[in-house]
Structure 1
Amino acid sequence: MGFEKPKSGAERVAKRRAALRAQGLRPRTFWLPDTRTPEFQEQARQMRAWLWAHQDDEAMVFVDAMIDDVLSSLPPPWDDED
């Protein structure tokens, strides 16, 4: 009874990708804005102000609450979790 040679990281990744492809999936890379940056947070606030000036109040109450909720749950910009 012999031992199998341990698979390298590249071999494990290749096997996993092959299994996903067999399920009809394909690999994609998505680059998203970093919501932790002060610039992003300021832009969200500016967009909210613009929406308040151009949309109906009922919809904006919802948007306002969502933006406050999202921004309050973000770590400070200096808290690097990467």
Structure 2
Amino acid sequence: MAPEAAPEASRSELSAQEARRAANRRKVREHRQRLRAQGMRPIQIWVPDVHAPEFVAEARRQSLLVAQSPEEAEIQAFIDSVYEWPDDEYGQ
């Protein structure tokens, strides 16, 4: 007995998918054109992946070093004295 073939999308389904993709590309292109007309330009930045186990481990290591530092209380007092919490609906 021959194995069953995997179901394939019909031509109309593929055409509908292609039409949606084309519409999405058009919307993105138009959105970018509007932003450029406002004097904006696109940029790409790379940032650390805060979900990566290595990042989490290093952040924890550094936090523990600061917390165990003899100067921790003095450092925290300085930070508290210069940091101003913004007034918002969650402020105290």
With structure 2 as the length reference, what TM-score do the two structures score? Answer: 0.46
Q: Is the 8 A contact 1:20 1:26 kept in 2?
A: yes
Matched, 1:48 2:63: yes
Q: Which residue of 2 aligns with 1:19?
A: 34
* Structure-1 separation of matches of 2:60 and 2:49: 15
Q: Is the 8 A contact 1:51 1:60 kept in 2?
A: no
**Structure 2 unaligned runs (5+)?**
1-19, 80-92
* Structure-1 separation of matches of 2:70 and 2:32: 46
User: Larger relative contact order (C-alpha < 8 A, sep ≥ 6)?
Assistant: 1
* Structure-2 separation of matches of 1:51 and 1:30: 29
State the AA in 2 paired with 1:33: P
State the AA in 2 paired with 1:57: A
Q: Which residue of 2 aligns with 1:30?
A: 45
Q: Which residue of 1 aligns with 2:23?
A: 8
* Structure-1 separation of matches of 2:57 and 2:76: 18
- How many correspondences in the alignment? 57
Tell me how far 1:29 sits from its aligned partner. Answer: 1.3
Task: Compute the RMSD of aligned alpha carbons.
Answer: 2.9
Tell me how far 1:30 sits from its aligned partner. Answer: 1.8
Q: Which residue of 2 aligns with 1:57?
A: 73
* Structure-1 separation of matches of 2:70 and 2:39: 43
Tell me how far 1:40 sits from its aligned partner. Answer: 0.6
Tell me how far 1:11 sits from its aligned partner. Answer: 2.1
State the AA in 2 paired with 1:37: A
Q: Deviations over 1:33-70 (max 9, x none)?
A: 111121111110122234343754254487xxxxxxxx
TM superposition outliers: structure 1 runs of 4+ over 6 Å: none
